[in-house]
Homo-oligomer: A and B are copies of this chain.
Amino acid sequence: MSMIRLRWIATGALLLAPAPGAAQVGNSVAQQRVPILREYLDLLAIPNIASDTANIRRNADRLLQMMAKRGLSPRLLEADDVAVPPAVYGEWLVPGATRTFVIYAHYDGQPVTPSDWKSTQPFVPVLRTARLDRPGKLIPLPAEGAAIDPEWRIYARSASDDKLGVMAILAAVDALRAQGQRPAFNVKIFLEGEEEAGSPNLRSVLTKHAATLKSDGWVIVDGPAHPSGARQVVLGVRGDVNLDIVVHGPARPLHSGHYGNWAPNPAMMLSRLLASMKDENGRVTITGFYDDVAPLGRAERQAIAVVPSADAQLREDLGLATTEGGGRSLLDLIHEPSLNINGIRSADVGEKARNVIPTTASATLDLRLVKGNDHKRQVARVIEHIKRQGFTVLDREPTMEERRRFAKIATAIPQSGYNAERTELAHPLAQSVIAAVKGSGDAVVLPTLGGSLPLYLLSETLGAPSVTLSLANHDNNQHAEDENLRIGNLWGAIETLAAVMRMK
């Protein structure tokens, strides 16, 4: 496998050539990468929440232009319902190639709460000379040819998750072309537009466009690198499903003085319910929660054993004196299903708080699933647990008759979810990608990523195996406020994709 490195020629196009070591690449070519940054910042400026139909279409249009410019014969792959975000498809077919792989990224991002952002507004991408909590400053896009420090960061929603994947794929195409090279296989590019919304239409898109998407496997570009900085080759992902819970108090809000210690408080009822779901060590106490887990094979356990532990560094960086799991490692724990509180809310707090007994208290739970779990079965266990705490569980608001009859009422509504997926370490696609990535720098191999992607759909609908490349800096705040990308990881991602496109 060729060691592929990126370099600029005078015109600004990318050159590929064997290079001596990964560490030298960032600095040596930093001064020539302004056009990529400009194109990337322009893309990040387009709001990309999946439910924002008009702006999602603007993203898709921009991606069509970006692919057309690169000769990738782009088109939209629409779902049956044209109101949903389309996938953007492109291809680079290689005469004589015997293999075909689809390279995937998603161009939509997590919802945003702009008031929480300290760095910038989510869709006003900015450059900073350092991570927000370290000494640094905002800087403009440098002039072409100016030096670019790989430690600089781009702040914007989806800077890491996952327009990074989109940009890296397209810039890797530029890199091959500039070098006069072709991919080692037929490259099909699939950019999803509603991954962060739970991919509700992905199944129908894959089914409808199965002929177009025929391949020997998928390479998914998403997720963060290892905290050590090494890129991650991930053979599977956890499944995911969210559950919205609303606990009901009095039918109308009450003055906390006139009715306090008489009318039940839904925030207290919710607190008690949530507290019942995990023990002090973070072990989920819901009956059967860990029952279905499929154990890892020997090869997978060996792969995990050689991954360097980042736990101490993470604890230091995140200011954590202790972690859940009674001292077990992060890598160990992400091979188990999890239960996380994404948010809780009842009335207001602090300056906006009023002296009331609220009418409702809400929580959104995030359940991560591993091989063996089924998302509907796991949600059913949580609902069964809520019932066991004395709640009447509904999938709608209670009626007044129900309120008068049942002491504890919760509305529990699961969102669309999906199961975990894992490709065997011995699979040829896994072996090829691992070799290509390891050949271009530091890499670790994980049987399962902590995060989720609807990879099970690929095997279910297309029979396609998949391997995931996780290339963003680990401290990227993805899904939260102040999402960011370390610029050195952008260069590294382009380089990695170029290597994979040339994989044996």
Contacts and interface: CB of A to CB of B under 8 A. Distances in A.
B240 A338 contact: no
Interface string A327-354: 0001001101011111111111111111
A340 B224 CA distance: 42
A5 interface: no
A200 interface: no
A475 interface: yes
Contact of A261 (B110, B338, B403, B451): B338
Interface stretch (A24-32, A147-155, A272-280, A489-497): A272-280
A344 B345 contact: yes
A271 interface: yes
Contacts of A340: 256, 260-261, 265, 355, 357
Interface stretch (A52-60, A83-91, A363-371, A422-430): A363-371
A298 interface: no
Contacts of A400: 319
A260 B450 contact: yes
Given A110-B355, A240-B355, A322-B264, A346 B350 contact: no
B264 A282 contact: yes
Given A350-B364, A450-B257, A251 B321 contact: no
A321 B404 contact: yes
A357 B366 CA distance: 10
A364 B342 contact: no
A406 B237 CA distance: 32
B349 A343 contact: yes
A199 interface: no
Identify whether the interface residues of A are mostly helix, strand, loop, or mixed: mixed
Contacts of A407: 321-322
Contact of A352 (B111, B344, B349, B450): B111
A277 B363 CA distance: 20
Contact of A323 (B111, B263, B319, B363): B263
Contact-residue size bin, chain A (C-beta under 8 Å from the other chain): 35 or more
Contacts of A11: none
B368 A257 contact: yes
Given A244-B349, A321-B405, A259 B342 contact: no
Nearest to A161: B255
Interface in A457-504: 474-475, 477-482
A262 B324 contact: yes
Contact of A257 (B274, B284, B449): B449
A361 interface: yes
Contacts of A320: 250, 263-264, 403-404
A271 B344 contact: yes
A86 B410 CA distance: 45
A396 interface: no
9 contacts: A133-B251, A261-B368, A265-B341, A267-B344, A268-B341, A321-B407, A342-B353, A345-B346, A354-B480
Interface of A: 51, 110-111, 113, 133, 223-224, 237-238, 240, 242, 244, 250-265, 267-268, 270-272, 274-275, 277-278, 280, 282, 284, 315-325, 330, 333-334, 336, 338-358, 361-364, 366, 368, 398, 400, 403-407, 449-452, 474-475, 477-482
Given A342-B347, A349-B363, 11 more contacts: A255-B480, A257-B368, A260-B340, A261-B324, A261-B325, A262-B324, A264-B282, A271-B274, A342-B349, A343-B354, A350-B362
